[in-house]
């Protein structure tokens, strides 16, 4: 027990000034965590230099070599030594750290890279000769003449050779390469008018890992094409366009349909003033926007761009600039949640196109002989005449549904096939409605669809009439700190609208007088603490609202059309029409799809007609 603490010296030690090399290596530990960090810093420097073409080449996952070539405005030969000095930059003058318009601004990247690896910079500005400078483990060489047409070429070799302990924390070459590719993809989405290439030249090879050509045209068209290149054309086909603004903040981008979700959060790309970020506030807001339409084990896909005046956001809060701090975080969160929910509601009953492919994939036709090419699809009248001519003797009499006289009396089946979900034609297994459209067939899960319709109706009623509250016979007193009590009481009016009535009860205590009736008997103290945690974390009582919606969801599930119930044609068509008019009807309350669309062309392929 009397042994000295390992971090404390028995006698005072003199204070020493660290040398420049040690300072740079310490700074590099914050800025350059892995090869992907180095690539990010170098590519951002190229973008700040106005480059329109950026080529990145790596070897062994970036551990042995990283080369970034751009056609930007370059660095003058006289400025090359200063570019390798700490906190030397051309992007800001230091007078206003909140007015940042560039990716980089600290002047730490190049000296940090030179401190932990072998760095060579060759650059040429217009009207001057090219020059090069090298730095090895913090030791800088003299500027020398070089050959280069334009722009800048930066080559970093043997990363972390000056700090070999860091090499032990790097992952496999494959994992580091994937991290580098992810950095390039995110920056490519941020700058659609810039061409990017990523090559792997390990072991003398030259494999193109990523290529994105510069996109022209207006901003929206360029962004759409770039996202299709980076994320995939399926994303654009199954995403909704988002464009909204509020109080100086703008939100632009694409958000995937709930039925086009992912098993992990790998397709979430968030940008603030063009800067890729991984911010907890933004990720949480994205998740909250999909709460009602996505299963808990699924993750939305989105590429969202937040824009605002530079003084409304602080980008100088993280060494790698991966996180930001907004002046009004609640406003930004509300913008994302409301903007996405509004866009998803406008999408109505729209479902993912990939559901059709998955459905067709499950329908494997029996192996047969060679394909028989048939004539084009005949008209309905020709089909009827053909059926009548080919029917065996007595068929018309025994099957009145196919007889010409019976058809004339009954007419065509009811319903408009030109509508999005078409006209109901049949019900299979007392659960699946088969509807016909002008271009194909729609299969609807009647229980899942009606569950969503009832749920949306209950939510609408709650929004219009408020949340009914039940008074407690004896108010429950919840003890807490004075600070927490004050925080809760400050939002008492908001909580009252959600059916939770509270009031102060001395210092450090809150009395719960009413709770939401729809929740039934609840532990008021536990509910209050959950609400407090939500208020402290997000600034609103979204948790309580989510619990209310969960109850409404259960009520909708039990009150909807059950599987196994026979439905008449008018009932089925009424269900289809209500789905078309109801937001989020493409998924049930649990995030599962409510219908699948099959085009006539796809169905014909199953039978070898195409």
Query: Would you say residue 14 lies in a domain?
Result: no
Are 382 and 495 in the same domain? Answer: no
Are 560 and 487 in the same domain? Answer: yes
Instruction: Please say which residue of 394, 412, 430 terminates a domain.
Output: 412
User: What's the confidence (pLDDT) of residue 397?
Assistant: 43
User: What's the confidence (pLDDT) of residue 125?
Assistant: 95
Are 256 and 173 in the same domain? Answer: no
User: What's the confidence (pLDDT) of residue 410?
Assistant: 36
CATH number at residue 280: 3.30.230.10
Are 561 and 580 in the same domain? Answer: yes
pLDDT surpassing 60 at residue 354: yes
Query: Would you say residue 240 lies in a domain?
Result: yes
Helix 524-538 × helix 542-559 angle, to 10° = 120
Are 393 and 470 in the same domain? Answer: no
Are 321 and 386 in the same domain? Answer: no
Are 136 and 281 in the same domain? Answer: no
Residue 528 — very low, low, confident or very high, per pLDDT cuts 50/70/90? confident
Element (H, E) at 443: strand 440-445
Are 468 and 553 in the same domain? Answer: yes
Query: Would you say residue 406 lies in a domain?
Result: yes
Are 589 and 548 in the same domain? Answer: yes
- Could you list the residue range(s) of the whole structural domain that residue 47 is in? 20-212
pLDDT surpassing 80 at residue 140: yes
Instruction: Please say which residue of 212, 243, 269 terminates a domain.
Output: 212
Taking alpha carbons only, the member of 377, 385, 350, 386 closest to residue 438 is: 377
Taking alpha carbons only, the member of 556, 563, 565, 561 closest to residue 589 is: 556
Query: Would you say residue 15 lies in a domain?
Result: no
Helix 280-289 × helix 329-346 angle, to 10° = 30
**Who contacts 84 (Cβ-Cβ below 8 Å, separation ≥6)?**
110, 111, 114, 119, 121, 133, 135, 140
Residue 399 — very low, low, confident or very high, per pLDDT cuts 50/70/90? very low
> Rounded CA gap, 252 and 274, in Å?
11
Tally of structural domains, the chain:
4
CATH number at residue 80: 3.30.565.10
Query: Would you say residue 7 lies in a domain?
Result: no
Are 593 and 462 in the same domain? Answer: yes
Q: Give the number of other Cβ atoms within 10 Å of residue 239's Cβ.
A: 24
Query: Would you say residue 312 lies in a domain?
Result: yes
Instruction: Please say which residue of 412, 436, 462 terminates a domain.
Output: 412
Q: Chain-wide mean pLDDT for the chain?
A: 82
Query: Would you say residue 244 lies in a domain?
Result: yes
Are 325 and 398 in the same domain? Answer: no
Query: Would you say residue 198 lies in a domain?
Result: yes
CATH number at residue 493: 3.30.1540.20
Q: How do residues 243-279 score in pLDDT, each as one tens digit?
A: 999 999 999 999 999 888 888 888 999 999 999 998 8
Taking alpha carbons only, the member of 95, 122, 109, 87 closest to residue 42 is: 109
Are 298 and 250 in the same domain? Answer: yes
Q: How do residues 73-129 score in pLDDT, each as one tens digit?
A: 999 999 999 888 877 777 665 666 666 777 866 677 888 888 888 999 999 999 999
């Amino acid at each position: 027990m009397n042994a000295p603490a390992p971090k404390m010296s028995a006698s005072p030690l003199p204070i020493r000034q660290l040398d420049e090399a040690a300072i740079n290596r310490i700074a590099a530990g914050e800025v350059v965590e892995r090869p992907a960090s180095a690539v990010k810093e170098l590519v951002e420097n190229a973008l700040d230099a106005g480059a329109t073409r950026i080529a990145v080449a790596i070897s062994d996952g970036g551990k042995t070599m990283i080369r970034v070539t751009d056609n930007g405005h370059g660095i003058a030969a006289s400025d090359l030594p200063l570019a390798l000095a700490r906190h030397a930059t051309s992007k800001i003058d230091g007078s206003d750290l909140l007015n940042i318009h560039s990716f980089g601004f600290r002047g730490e990247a190049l000296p940090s890279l030179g401190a932990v690896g072998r760095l060579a910079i060759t650059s040429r500005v217009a009207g001057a000769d090219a020059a090069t400078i090298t730095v090895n483990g913090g030791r800088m060489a003299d500027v020398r003449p070089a050959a280069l047409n334009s722009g800048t070429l930066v080559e970093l070799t043997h990363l972390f050779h000056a700090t070999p302990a860091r090499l032990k924390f790097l992952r496999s070459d494959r994992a580091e390469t994937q991290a580098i590719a992810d950095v390039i993809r995110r920056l490519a989405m941020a700058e659609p008018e810039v061409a990017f290439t990523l090559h792997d030249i390990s072991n003398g090879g030259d494999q193109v890992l990523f290529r994105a050509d510069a996109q022209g045209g207006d901003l929206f068209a360029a962004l759409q094409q770039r996202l299709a290149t980076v994320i995939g054309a399926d994303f654009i086909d199954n995403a909704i366009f988002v464009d909204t603004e509020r109080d100086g903040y703008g939100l632009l981008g694409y958000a995937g349909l709930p039925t086009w979700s992912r098993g992990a959060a790998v397709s979430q790309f968030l940008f603030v003033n063009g800067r890729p970020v991984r911010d907890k506030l933004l990720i949480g807001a994205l998740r909250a926007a999909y709460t009602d339409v996505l299963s808990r084990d699924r993750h939305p896909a989105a590429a969202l761009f937040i824009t605002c005046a530079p003084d409304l956001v602080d980008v100088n809060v993280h060494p790698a600039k991966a996180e930001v701090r907004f002046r009004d975080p609640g406003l930004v969160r509300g913008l994302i949640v409301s903007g996405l929910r509004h866009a998803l509601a406008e999408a109505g009953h729209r479902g993912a196109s990939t559901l059709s492919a998955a459905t067709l994939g499950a329908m494997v036709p029996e192996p047969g002989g060679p394909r028989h090419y048939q004539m084009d699809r005949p008209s309905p009248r020709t089909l009827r005449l053909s059926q009548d001519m080919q029917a065996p003797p007595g068929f018309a009499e025994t099957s009145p549904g196919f007889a010409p006289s019976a058809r004339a009396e009954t007419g065509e089946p009811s319903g408009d096939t030109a509508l999005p979900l078409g006209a109901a034609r049949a019900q299979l297994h007392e659960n699946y409605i088969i509807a016909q459209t002008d271009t194909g067939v729609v299969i609807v899960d009647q229980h899942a669809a009606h569950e969503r319709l009832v749920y949306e109706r209950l939510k609408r009623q709650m929004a219009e009439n408020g949340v009914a509250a039940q008074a407690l016979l004896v108010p429950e007193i919840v003890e807490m700190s004075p600070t927490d009590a004050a925080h809760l009481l400050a939002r008492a009016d908001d909580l009252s609208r959600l059916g939770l009535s509270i009031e102060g009860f001395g210092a450090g205590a809150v009395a719960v007088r009413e709770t939401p009736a729809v929740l039934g008997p609840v532990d008021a103290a536990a509910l209050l603490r959950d609400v407090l945690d939500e208020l402290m974390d997000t600034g609103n009582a979204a948790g309580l609202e989510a619990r209310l919606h969960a109850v409404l969801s259960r009520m909708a599930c039990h009150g909807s059309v059950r599987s196994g119930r026979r439905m008449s044609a008018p009932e089925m068509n009424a269900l289809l029409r209500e789905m078309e008019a109801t937001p989020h009807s493409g998924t049930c309350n649990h995030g599962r799809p409510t219908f699948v669309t099959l085009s006539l062309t796809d169905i014909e392929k199953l039978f070898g007609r195409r």
